[in-house]
Amino acid sequence: MSAISSPSQTISTGGAQAVSPAGSLEIDASCRGPVLFLFLSALGWLLIGSLLGLIASLKFHAPNLLAECSALTYGRVHPAHLNALIYGFAAQAGLGVLLWITAHLSRVRLAMTPAILTGTILWNCAVTLGILGIFYGESTGYEWLEMPRYASATLFFGYLLIALGAMVTLHLRTDRQFYISQWFILGALFWFPWIYSTASLTLVAHPARGVLQTAIDSWYINNLSTIWFGFIGIATIFYFVPKISQRPLHSHYLGVFTFFALALFGSWGNIPAATPLPSWMPALSTMGALMTIAPILGVGMNVFGTICGDKSALRENRRFKFFIFATSIYIVTGLANAVTSLASVSRITNFTWFTPGITMLFLYGFFAMTMFGAMFYIVPRLVQAEFSKPGMICGQFAIAGLGVIIYSVLLAIGGVVQGFALNDSTKAFPDVTQSTLLFLRGSTLGELLMILANLMILLSVVSLLVSVGRKVATTAFATSVKNVEVIW
């Protein structure tokens, strides 16, 4: 099984119509509009979300910063930052990469592009409405589900249109054999509407009572991060690592095991042991988190087993660094989540800065870095042109990687210090808060580096599109002038 070779013959789709395999150029042409729209929207929201995160972070340096404006208080800026990062950037970047990989693995043109474009417009309208609603004070109060009901409904229908295009493309595939990335993509396509509709109905439309709300919110956050983002990220890594290294994936069966193990156990975690719920729920959550250790290590074995040996070709490819870095961070964050699910460890790390630090390490260090590597690979193929400054790719990788490590490591250390202090009955709470300020302020440096990296990738993509657009316009103008001269 290979993700690289192309079938040469026409293959029946199983129905009445037979579909011929499309060439890479033809597939890229069909993906150009929807995928570029998703990528540009994602990078725009990434920059907006980063700036909102910086404002939230600066409030730990200067508590009175923008305090006169109620819309810019920490309680509104912080959820707006997270929603811009999750639904504005991560989700759209993931969907863009998912559509491109689906079309190439299926070896057919991307289907239903008007529906995908409409869904992308609806998605961006929903994120805009949702974040404005948060600023206006209409947040639902549920973590990662803060957007008001009207925005959630629009977001959901936008997703259905985009996913419909991916499903039809997958159905029309010419190669009936499923590559492992397609397993993860198919799982991700069905997982989001299930968890988002369930959480929205039981928390926003018809709220459950009491502490059950906490359990549902934790379940949703864990499924969105571990399963949905995890599936899309792993599908991307399992596609690009063999493609760039020009070697088959180390073990297809290990990939299948990873898929089923994560699907079975990955959605149970994220309920801390000290949560005021029936004791069987945190215990089940801990068991689920520990059971994910095997598939997480399986991802590492598959990736590093694929690239072991001669790495000369890999060093020459600038995009490859993103996928190796992301895989390493995926393993680190997965093991950290498993260890902190234990009651003895959770007693120290729960309700501290440790959790936001690990969450950002997963979202940015794993998922965003995977998407950056994929974008640097896909965009030049969509527009049939290379970046004018290839060194910018290495620079963006170094700055982004350094930024997220500084940010996450300082918050993680600060969280552990905070946790021990909170468990010390001799320390007053204001003293505990004061002890974490040094780590919080240090993490702002990492945030600044990430903003710089986000600006670099946005400028790289925009400058490439402007350059291509200028060449097309020049060629069209020269052709029109030549035609006029021929007529006269």
pLDDT at 443: 92
Q: Does the pLDDT value for residue 192 go beyond 90?
A: yes
pLDDT at 277: 82
pLDDT at 271: 81
- For residues 97-113, give the mean pLDDT: 95
**pLDDT tens by residue, 377-402:** 999 999 999 988 888 899 999 999 99
**pLDDT tens by residue, 333-375:** 999 999 998 989 988 998 899 999 999 999 999 999 999 999 9
Measure Cα distances from 203 to 79, 228, 320 in Å.
Answer: 17, 20, 41
- For residues 16-26, give the mean pLDDT: 72
pLDDT at 5: 40
pLDDT at 351: 85
Q: Does the pLDDT value for residue 302 go beyond 90?
A: yes
**pLDDT tens by residue, 131-187:** 999 999 999 999 999 999 999 999 999 999 999 999 999 999 987 788 999 999 999
pLDDT at 383: 93
pLDDT band at 19 (very low <50, low <70, confident <90, very high): low
Q: Does the pLDDT value for residue 20 go beyond 50?
A: yes
pLDDT at 10: 37
pLDDT at 67: 82
- CA–CA dist 404, 410 (Å, integer): 10
pLDDT band at 318 (very low <50, low <70, confident <90, very high): confident
pLDDT at 21: 81
pLDDT at 310: 65
pLDDT at 6: 38
